[in-house]
Chain A
Amino acid sequence: MRLNRDVYVGIFLLLICAVFINATFEIKAPLFGQMSSALWPRIILVSLTLLSILFLIRSLRLEKPEWEQKGSLKNWFRYYKNPIYCFGLFFLFLASLPYLGMLLAGVTFVFLMLSMLGGWAPKKLLLHASVAILFVGMMWSIFTFVLGVILPQGEIFLYM
């Protein structure tokens, strides 16, 4: 048995299938002789389970790629550094949205993302701040005033 990335994916898929198959037993049964609400998900899940088993078997036969053998957690983090930072920043943006509102949270998010990806040199910071204020402000204005969308205002502005 050779453990490689696809083997973990196959096992993960099977676990997901198990959780969802178990959850289908909690779906309410219909009152009359119609198709059960659980039937269609079960058809999907049984097919997915079978394909996942096939995928797992195929993955076990594969050799572990060289780049995977050399991989360490540190290398992995370095490889996916940018997306991880972006997801982290987006998470913070969403978490701060109820408090800061779309405009302020948006400017902060775009500024931090630009600087994280583009660098922290003073000249660049100025550029990033201008881009963030200009574009976020523009989009916020279009959605608020032109399209009439009520974007989150933010709790801190409610007390002002």
Chain B
Amino acid sequence: MIIENVLAASSELFTITTMMLMIAGVVAGLFAGAIPGFTMAMAVVLVLPFTFSMTPVQGLATMIGVYVGGLSGGLMSGILTGIPGTPSSIATTFDGFPMARSGRPGLALGIGVWSSFFGGTLSAIILILAGPQLARIGLEFQPWDFFALVVFALTVTASLAGDNMLKGLIAGLIGLLIATVGTDVIFGYPRFNFGTDALIQGFSFLPVLIGLFAFSRLLSDIRMPDAANRKLGDENTKAVAIEHRAAAIAVLKRWVNLVRSSMIGIFVGLLPAAGSTISNILAYDQAKKASKTPEEFGKGSIDGVIAPEAANNATAGGTLIVMMALGIPGDIITVVMLGALLIHDVIPSPSFIADEPVIAYSIFISFFLANFMMLFLQSFTLKGFLMVTKVRMYMLASIILFYCAVGVFALNNVAFDLWTLFIFGILGYVMRALNFPIVPIVLGAVLGQVAEQNLSQALAITTDLTPFFTRPWSLFFVILAVFSCLYPLYQKHKGAKRWADFYLPVFLAAIVPALALMDGWIRPTIGGVLLLTALILLVQRIRKNAPVHSASR
């Protein structure tokens, strides 16, 4: 069955047109990732209109090319200029830039490229192996579970806003509210159209997304006249030859760090909204802790480049697993991919891999393939990147703003979509200026209808609300949602207040009942292990705290 699906997907994927489109996607991603201020998420958003006229396989393969290219592109500017091209390469600059300045820029770039390649490839293998398995778990989901999963996705996204958790939650609710405007998904009744015909159909998903995300971001970038007139990169940056052989050997020699960092990346990718921005820093931190020479970190350590680059590329596999297995986008890029699938009338759900095996396996293979393309194309785009850095920010912003308008119009050939783009551009800009996070609004707008449909189905089965707390998966996500809401408080008080010491053991113990209720023996066993861990941690924390408090008395 798997071989049949792989062959069917390969016949669609391995055509000259699709390969050329993928190469174009990887190159576009590499450039987008390399240009500071021009994120890969924006690149994926902007590539979407081009995919309207493509087949679903071609469109998704192109976007995956942009995604993988974008994840790796950030290392070029990070290592050569010290300014990370994307937030996912922040930690790469910690050691990559010092290494480049100490006269080894070719090796630093090579290590970054090869770590990205190995991280991405490992993640692709896990995606191929774990995606269908997770989809099987997804088939256990009932409406209550899906609703609780959406709630968790929104709370965890909001919790990443840190001190601004309240703003994050408000943003998520605004996103959900945006999704309710227009025709109701259950009965088709108009809602919140305020007497206008244009609003009866509601807001199209893509103009909202591009307006909130790309439009508002561009205007934020050009707010300061100095920043608008600044060139995209450092003029003094010079082209260097990537030392592929030496770098590949250096990376493979440090395989423990490579595998650990890739696993961190994949795990973070599985969490809704976490993404490569977090995974690269987390992997760097772990590599430093595990290193025998932590004092070398920050001065040009090879392990310091391997960890973030392997992790950020591996994250892509994790986010794709969740999107394909559960139909829930984990970050802004998978939100756009979900949009691309919806444009082609493909609805991601737990049965997606079984229902659309050609598309699903095309995603698997193209993700795998994109990593090889990235490895090959990185050297060529390096020269192009140096040329692009001479362009000024306001030029790029003006052209992209126009492109946003054309792309949005091309979606439905409806002028109202352009006004939607304008309105949500303003909304996104104002919310950014007021320090409201944008990702929860976008996720809310995308997941709003999923939440409503599942809530409606749940209430149609029974008006009793207890299944939200008695069904294992629903209970699991409700508990995760509650603890994700408390997470910013824990972060704030960690080490300062006594209760924060007990956050982790209590959290572990809290999810045990949900795991114990699940079918089979594996998950209840995991629950047992977690309970044991929670008890050990609890005892440790109590012992750690006891002398401090008796002494203070």
Contacts and interface: CB of A to CB of B under 8 A. Distances in A.
A20 B192 contact: yes
A86 B405 CA distance: 13
A27 interface: yes
A148 B408 CA distance: 14
A155 to B, nearest CB: 13
A86 B192 contact: no
Contacts of A109: 402
Contact of A34 (B192, B413, B425, B456): B456
Nearest to B215: A90
A131 B399 contact: yes
Contact of A136 (B166, B224, B402, B409): B402
Contacts of B223: 79-80, 82-83
A117 B398 contact: yes
B376 interface: no
A135 interface: yes
Main secondary structure of the interface of A (DSSP, over half): helix
A30 B532 CA distance: 50
B394 A117 contact: yes
B206 interface: no
Contacts of B401: 86, 90, 110, 113
A106 B401 CA distance: 10
A152 B425 CA distance: 21
A83 B429 contact: yes
Q: How large is the interface on B (under 10, 10 to 19, 20 to 34, 35 or more residues)?
A: 35 or more
B409 A152 contact: yes
B392 interface: yes
B415 interface: yes
Q: Which of B223, B399, B433, B459 has the most CB of A within 10 A?
A: B399
Nearest to A29: B189
A149 B410 contact: yes
Interface of A: 5-6, 9, 13, 20, 23-24, 27-28, 30, 34-35, 37-38, 40-41, 44-45, 47-48, 51-52, 54-55, 58, 79-83, 86-87, 90-91, 93-94, 97-98, 102, 106, 109-110, 113-114, 117-118, 131-132, 135-136, 139-140, 143, 147-152
- For the complex of A and B, 7 pairs with smallest distance between CB atoms: A117-B394, A37-B184, A113-B398, A149-B410, A48-B173, A83-B219, A35-B456
19 contacts: A24-B191, A27-B189, A34-B456, A37-B189, A38-B191, A40-B451, A40-B455, A41-B192, A58-B166, A79-B223, A83-B429, A94-B418, A94-B419, A98-B415, A106-B402, A113-B394, A147-B52, A147-B53, A148-B53
Interface of B: 50, 52-53, 166-167, 169-170, 173-174, 176-177, 180, 184, 186-187, 189-192, 194, 219-220, 222-225, 228-229, 392, 394-395, 397-399, 401-403, 405-406, 409-410, 413, 415, 418-419, 422, 425-426, 429, 433-434, 451-452, 455-456, 459-460
